Amino acid sequence: MSEDREDRLTLTGVAWDAWRTTRGGPFAVASRQEVRLEALVARARSSSRFYADHYRSVPPGPLGPGGLRRLPAVGKPALMERFDDWVTDPAVSRTGVEAFVADEANLGKDFLGRYVVFTTSGSTGEPALLVQDPRSVTVMTGLSYARAAGALPPGLGRRIVAQGLRQAAVFARGGHFLSTTMFERRLRAHPVRRRYTRFFSVLEPLPDLVAELNAFRPTLLATYASTLALLTEEQEAGRLRISPVVVTTGGELLLPAVRRRAEAVFGCVVTEAYAASEAMPLALPCRLGSLHVNSDWFVLEPVDAAGRPVPRGARSDSVLVTNLANYVQPVIRYQLGDSVVLGAARCACGSPLPTIQVEGRTDDILRLPGTDGGVSVLPMALATVVEETPGVRRFQVLQRAPASLSVRLDVDPGADREDVWRRVRDRLDELLRNHGCGPVDLALADEGPQVSPRSGKLRHVLAAVQERPEEASS
């Protein structure tokens, strides 16, 4: 795919080029990455006032091999502070995007008729508004079609057809999150999908969610890793009775034990993807189960706490990401915050794309006393309710005792902390009552949210009843 054609990307073209690239070996991957990086940086310098200032001390011209490291890294707070200077389309403004996402009726619609907007949960401490142009969305979809299918064993398609194609997505509602937005966008584009596709919210009480999944009987299921762990327990107990062929997880770290248990209980294939709202899909699985970075379209740089490169095979403290596809809101050497390990050796599957192990979000499922026994509450349900409360900037929910939750809270500038806390408390109380929880003490903590000193990520929901050492300081 030549440079002069890359502003006119098509879904078929991206998928075909991805297939050719993986078969072209390391040189094909590196050459595409180099061409796309040069084009992205040139666009950023010429059309983004933020990057024009940010790169003022860097001489213009080709970066050359390894030249990316000459560009200074960027962080979410600095970019959000200069949002209107960051974007390359003058029609896009922070005020306009904020008004767009504030209206729930816009979920699944395109901002200004051409841009997809995501909101993030602020796991690194600062929520963000992210704008994706058509070029970026085409790459996102084309890569998923071309490379995700390779992780599935032969003959799986026949099982899906035999059982009937029914797709279930179990994610958080309440914001323009990546999974929710893309799901609703596809339904708006192809309403016929509503016949065999359903969205279920993790905000629902678990018995209701189980009943709805039993009625729908999905053959394809997509959800968070923590939700999968809880649904596996329900299947083992006999309350959930579904037979998915494939389960895909994202948004949280999928522990090997959770994967093995789910595959055994459901008799299905469990896969995972590594993605961020800033760059998606960063990595997709191969047939051997390893995650491979889509490095022809994304550059990942593992770094230590001081921002220095970390060699392959070693765990990083953070990672810088560059999205080579998005021109309207360039993401170049962006501090993502995840701790990762890039594989030192080529995967046995034969792909030239590097493998990666990710230390992702590991929020806890809370076990609370209920009116009729114990109740399990998903971390995403709690997190969504709190973070979508007006005035909340950052938060952290800790279970201090079996029936006691403490909320660490930072509020938006100008917001009254006590007033925001009252709204958070009322929303949490309603959620817990709807889930069948008994009386739960809700308290506002004196201290604010605290990121992990090791990863820099903010864990939002912690079961600290029997506090582990690493949780005490996070």
Residues 185 and 263 in one domain: yes
| Count of the separate structural domains present in the chain | 3
Place of tokens 């699985």: 285
Residues 260 and 302 in one domain: no
150 vs 128, higher pLDDT: 128
Residues 207 and 311 in one domain: no
235 vs 287, higher pLDDT: 235
Q: Which of 325, 264, 448, 395 is nearest to 43 (CA)?
A: 325
Domain end (from 245, 274, 303): 274
Rg (CA), the chain: 22
Which two structure tokens, joined as six digits, stand for 128? 């963000």
**Is residue 401 within 8 Å of 368, Cβ to Cβ?**
no
Residues 110 and 177 in one domain: no
Domain end (from 274, 308, 332): 274
The answer to whether position 282 is within a domain reads no
Residues 428 and 459 in one domain: yes
Residues 264 and 163 in one domain: yes
Residues 259 and 301 in one domain: no
Please state, as a whole number, how many other Cβ atoms lie within 10 Å of the Cβ of residue 401: 11
Burial (CB < 10 A; 0-12, 13-18, 19+), residue 136, is buried
Which two structure tokens, joined as six digits, stand for 251? 């948004």
State the pLDDT at residue 399.
94
CATH number at residue 384: 3.30.300.90
Which two structure tokens, joined as six digits, stand for 378? 């998903």
Residues 18 and 66 in one domain: yes
The answer to whether position 96 is within a domain reads yes
Cβ contacts of residue 73 below 8 Å, gap of 6+?
307, 320, 333, 334, 335
Band of the pLDDT at 473, cuts 50, 70, 90? very low
E strands, 28-152, where?
A: 116-119, 129-132
Name 392's bridge partners. 411
Which two structure tokens, joined as six digits, stand for 332? 């170049």
Rounded CA-CA distance 285/356 in Å is: 10
Rounded CA-CA distance 117/133 in Å is: 9
Residues 239 and 324 in one domain: no
Rounded CA-CA distance 295/67 in Å is: 16
Cα 16 vs. chain centroid, distance in angstroms?
25
Domain end (from 224, 249, 274): 274
Cβ contacts of residue 388 below 8 Å, gap of 6+?
174, 175
The three-class DSSP label of residue 381 is helix
**Is residue 450 within 8 Å of 396, Cβ to Cβ?**
yes
- Tell me the average pLDDT of the chain: 88
Give residue-wise pLDDT tens across range 3-33: 444 457 898 999 999 999 999 999 999 999 9
Residues 404 and 332 in one domain: no
* DSSP state letters, 271-282: EE-EEETTEEEE
Give residue-wise pLDDT tens across range 304-351: 988 999 999 998 988 999 999 999 999 999 998 888 999 999 999 999
Rounded CA-CA distance 20/438 in Å is: 57
3-state helix, strand, coil in the chain (%, to 5): 40, 25, 40
Rounded CA-CA distance 137/143 in Å is: 10
Give residue-wise pLDDT tens across range 177-196: 888 899 899 889 889 988 99
CATH number at residue 203: 3.40.50
Cβ contacts of residue 135 below 8 Å, gap of 6+?
6, 7, 9, 325, 326, 327
Give residue-wise pLDDT tens across range 455-467: 456 788 988 775 4
Which two structure tokens, joined as six digits, stand for 101? 């996402």
CATH number at residue 321: 3.40.50.12780
Question: pTM here?
Answer: 0.80
Residues 127 and 12 in one domain: yes
> By residue range, what is the domain housing residue 385?
366-472
* DSSP state letters, 193-246: GGGTEEEEETTS-HHHHHHHHHHH--SEEEE-HHHHHHHHHHHHHTS-----SE
The answer to whether position 360 is within a domain reads no
The answer to whether position 281 is within a domain reads no
Cα 98 vs. chain centroid, distance in angstroms?
20
The answer to whether position 280 is within a domain reads no
Residues 402 and 429 in one domain: yes
**Is residue 88 within 8 Å of 327, Cβ to Cβ?**
yes
Give residue-wise pLDDT tens across range 389-413: 888 888 999 998 999 999 999 998 8
The answer to whether position 353 is within a domain reads no
**How much of the chain exceeds pLDDT 70, in percent?**
93
